[in-house]
Amino acid sequence: MASPKKAAADKTNGSSPPEFTKEQELKALRDMLLIRRFEEKAGQLYGMGAIGGFCHLYIGQEAVVVGMQMALKQGDQVITGYRDHGHMLACGMDANGVMAELTGRRGGYSKGKGGSMHMFSMEKQFYGGHGIVGAQVSLGTGLAFANHYRGNDNVSVAYFGDGAANQGQVYESFNMAELWKLPVIYVIENNRYAMGTSVSRASAQQDFSKRGASFNIPGKQVDGMDVRAVKAAGDEAVAWCRAGKGPFILEMQTYRYRGHSMSDPAKYRTREEVEKVRHDQDPIEQVRNRLLAAKVSEADLKAIDAEVRDIVNASADFAQHDPEPDAAELWTDVYR
Amino acid sequence: MPIQVLMPALSPTMEKGNLAKWLKKEGETIKSGDVIAEIETDKATMEVEATDEGTLGKILIPEGTADVAVNTPIATILADGETAADLAKVPAAPAPSVAQEVAESRSPVGEGKPMISAPKATAAPQAVAEPDPEVPAGTAMVTQTIREALRDAMAEEMRRDKDVFVMGEEVAEYQGAYKVTQGLLQEFGAKRVIDTPITEHGFAGVGVGAAMTGLKPIVEFMTFNFAMQAIDQIINSAAKTLYMSGGQMGCSIVFRGPNGAAARVAAQHSQDYSSWYSNIPGLKVIAPFSAADYKGLLKAAIRDPNPVIFLENEVLYGHTGEVPKLDDYVIPIGKARIVRAGSHVTIISWSNGMTYALKAADELAKDGIEAEVIDLRTLRPMDTETIINSVKKTGRAVTVEEGWAQSGVGAEIAARIMEHAFDYLDAPVTRVSGKDVPMPYAANLEKLALPSAAEVVEAAKAVCYR
């Protein structure tokens, strides 16, 4: 088993990422905490039987979506695969609507018809939530195509994992994106395991930032546990895309603390490996420690904790008490 | 003996072409590889190269002749030492090849026009078409190939809505692998007529992604056989997203291209996907037969806010029909059409299956059996009402499809008839379909694998107990 890469930022950039302002640190902390607490609650509700089917938690990877979102502007689009709760919260989607979709209730983003892996928000420009590994890469390229077609300066961000990075349509998309100079950022969330298969057992080229090399797409390896590094890389990629230079690949080196899904006993890695990453690299603890070092009071941080817990508890309450969809909903939304 | 130069076929489905120009004169010396003539179809212009050496003895078909059937002798080449006197040794006309018979057997009979008009004309039987309810009486008609009707439908919708664009392999600079998109690049430019790499899965996904933002892509598959590479995006992304998003995010997109058997291209290029796509809620599936329907239904498909599978037929592309000369001829999706009225048996088909159905109806009429022929036109949503009303009248039904019988559209029609008109049936519903084998290449086997008018006649007589 490969040992955790502790100093990815140093290896790739040779220096620490640009500092955040205090406001940025606080926002990053709050948004990452919201995702973590939300996911912990979702795990609990799953254990209670309130959430069915598949449930893929994002715990450990929070810095990736929060840092990227800080680099985007209004109108930029986001699309991802099935591990999507964090992306939706980072996009500003309402926790109640996401949790109620997990419990299959009428107040869910998809009226209870989509579930954990299939949620969308036109308002927040979140295009799902896709259950077929790699499909979101072509779709995300299509979002960028639409921006290019309309002549606006929006970019799309297509997130996918180290596992999806081996799908054929990813490379079909890379080719078209570079050929047509489409403004799409491919964010490869390398959490080291495609379900139970480690990167070294599945990937001939383990440096995912080079996966676009034969299409001349620039790529960068990023310490995906450091939200500042993510934001800085996101800024660079966004600038590249908005300037009309075509797509950009960001390999986010990250880690998922929980199993692939709720039913994963995670026998493919040691408990020590997980504990070491949590201890050394946790994205939330990094921000919290920096804030404390900058003399932000424990009380201020506790206030953020409390606000986040209130949101999450309210969402769990809503999601368990909201009625199930009306039986008539079975037949709606098949056609427009 | 002098060598005959025959009218060549430019594509597996070409039946005739125009002899545009002779580039050599009688008496000129010809070397192997010399371009001797230019021939053209509505799809392409091609040069005819000599494969033999000698002297151009006689031009049999003058330049400017239209509709010259494939394999018609167009010139003779005299070998060294031969003279014009030797020309008399050439047989008047060769026996028609098997390939020609196959091509002719597929020519449509429903539009009242013989397809091979020169140099030998075969009279096509006339279908007694019911008037089209969508066309106001007295509307002027224009004769068009299906290829042109499709092109005009796309062009009209692209003029109407800037969010409509076409993408696919060879759709722009090459003008379409089957020339369906001819001229679109010139009118609308490269931004809206987009050549893709050979990458079906990828560009289907790009199209769906663009459609999710509100654009209205027309995605051309060079054939639907290649769309199997893209079927995940068609079904999992295009068809299901509206439902999975609780109605928030739809996908107005048309996937179109030739479907079903072409001619002599064997198993991987000859499959009917009618039943595959018509199985999927969230998709609409259209498979027209007549040129007018191709136009009116493609326009409707482009405007429809849902993903639409538009199944064309390569064999039919060059066939002509009367298309209403209206500014905006749009046919509602989901309506079948009674193409021929009758009272003894209902024959239900769509797309090229109509060729066999209509030919069979003419044969049956000679034996006093009046068949009612229904062109489904749309497979999903299926116009059950038109089928049931007809069966209630005739008490007998035969379905005709080029696809396989198992889990086919004919099986679905039979089930619906049993559900809604069981008490009216005087005989079991009978299916005529493609044979349960991959499509063979050999001309005789291919003919056997496809349905035929004779099989439809036999089935119709069987259900009439005749």
Predicted confidence (pLDDT) per residue in A7-60, tens digit: 443 444 457 899 999 999 999 999 999 999 999 999 999 999 999 999 999 999
Instruction: Determine the distance in angstroms separating the CA of A158 from the nearest CA of chain B, rounded to an integer.
Output: 11
Nearest to B36 by CA among B23, B18, B52: B23
Query: For a pLDDT cut of 90, what percent of chain A falls above it?
Result: 93
User: Where does B194-322 have alpha helices with state H?
Assistant: 200-212, 231-232, 241-244, 274-278, 291-303
Return mean pLDDT, chain B: 90
Q: In this complex, do B209 and A127 lie within 8 Å of one another by their Cβ atoms?
A: yes
Residues of B annotated catalytic, as ranges: 200, 269
Q: In this complex, do A128 and B205 lie within 8 Å of one another by their Cβ atoms?
A: no
Q: In this complex, do A334 and B196 lie within 8 Å of one another by their Cβ atoms?
A: no
Query: For a pLDDT cut of 70, what percent of chain A falls above it?
Result: 96
pLDDT given for residue B120 in this prediction: 36
Q: Which of A91, A145, A184, A215 would you mutate first to test chain B, the one with the most B CBs within 10 A?
A: A145
Task: Enumerate the residues of chain B whose CB falls inside 8 A of the CB of residue A145.
Answer: 206, 209-210
Please give the average per-residue pLDDT across B222-250, as a whole number.
97
**What span, in angstroms and rounded, lies between the C-alpha atoms of A195 and A83?**
11
Q: In this complex, do B202 and A143 lie within 8 Å of one another by their Cβ atoms?
A: no
Side by side, which strands form the sheet with A219-223? A126-129, A77-80, A156-161, A184-190, A248-253, A219-223
The answer for A 174-193 residues in CB contact with B (under 8 A) is 175-176, 179
A154 CB within 8 Å of a chain B CB: no
**Smallest Cβ distance to A139: which of B237, B242, B305?**
B237
pLDDT given for residue B52 in this prediction: 82
pLDDT given for residue B130 in this prediction: 65
Instruction: Determine the distance in angstroms separating the CA of A105 from the nearest CA of chain B, rounded to an integer.
Output: 11
pLDDT at B370 over 50: yes
Q: In this complex, do A128 and B241 lie within 8 Å of one another by their Cβ atoms?
A: yes
Nearest to B8 by CA among B45, B34, B59: B45
Q: What would the pLDDT profile of B340-349 be if each residue is shown by its tens digit?
A: 999 999 999 9
**What span, in angstroms and rounded, lies between the C-alpha atoms of A87 and B149?**
46
3-state class (DSSP) for residue B22: strand
Q: What would the pLDDT profile of A244-258 be if each residue is shown by its tens digit?
A: 999 999 999 999 999
**Smallest Cβ distance to A114: which of B199, B244, B305?**
B244
A104 CB within 8 Å of a chain B CB: no
pLDDT given for residue B90 in this prediction: 65
pLDDT at B101 over 70: no
Q: In this complex, do B249 and A169 lie within 8 Å of one another by their Cβ atoms?
A: no
- Provide the 10 A C-beta neighbour count for residue B211: 27
Cis peptide bond prior to B119, omega within 30° of 0: yes
User: Given its phi and psi angles, is residue A331 left (phi above 0), alpha (psi -120 to 50 degrees) or beta?
Assistant: alpha
**Smallest Cβ distance to A332: which of B191, B215, B247?**
B247
pLDDT given for residue B304 in this prediction: 98
Q: In this complex, do B233 and A135 lie within 8 Å of one another by their Cβ atoms?
A: yes
Q: Please give the model's pTM, rounded to 2 decimal places.
A: 0.89
**Residues paired with residue B143 on neighbouring β-strands, in sequence order:** B322
Instruction: Determine the distance in angstroms separating the CA of A86 from the nearest CA of chain B, rounded to an integer.
Output: 18
Q: What would the pLDDT profile of A121-156 be if each residue is shown by its tens digit?
A: 999 999 999 999 999 999 999 999 999 999 999 999
Q: What would the pLDDT profile of B70-98 be if each residue is shown by its tens digit?
A: 999 999 989 887 877 777 776 655 544 44
Task: Enumerate the residues of chain A whose CB falls inside 8 A of the CB of residue B209.
Answer: 79, 127, 138-146
Q: Chain B residues contacting A, CB < 8 Å?
A: 165, 191, 196-197, 199, 201-215, 232-233, 236-237, 241-250, 281-282, 284, 305-306
Number of H helices, E strands in chain A: 12, 8
- Residue keyed to tokens 């499509």: B439
Half-sphere exposure of B452 toward its Cβ, with a 13 Å CA cutoff?
A: 14
Q: In this complex, do B209 and A140 lie within 8 Å of one another by their Cβ atoms?
A: yes
Q: In this complex, do A173 and B202 lie within 8 Å of one another by their Cβ atoms?
A: yes
Q: What would the pLDDT profile of A205-237 be if each residue is shown by its tens digit?
A: 999 999 999 999 999 999 999 999 999 999 999
Q: What would the pLDDT profile of B106-133 be if each residue is shown by its tens digit?
A: 333 333 333 333 333 333 334 445 667 7
**Smallest Cβ distance to B201: which of A142, A168, A334?**
A168
Task: Enumerate the residues of chain A whose CB falls inside 8 A of the CB of residue B191.
Answer: 149
> Could you please report the per-residue DSSP string of B68-112?
EETT-EEEEEEPTT--GGGGGGS-SSPPPPHHHHHHHHTS--TTS
pLDDT at A189 over 60: yes
pLDDT given for residue B119 in this prediction: 36
Q: In this complex, do B237 and A334 lie within 8 Å of one another by their Cβ atoms?
A: no
Q: What would the pLDDT profile of B152-183 be if each residue is shown by its tens digit?
A: 999 999 999 999 999 999 999 999 999 999 99
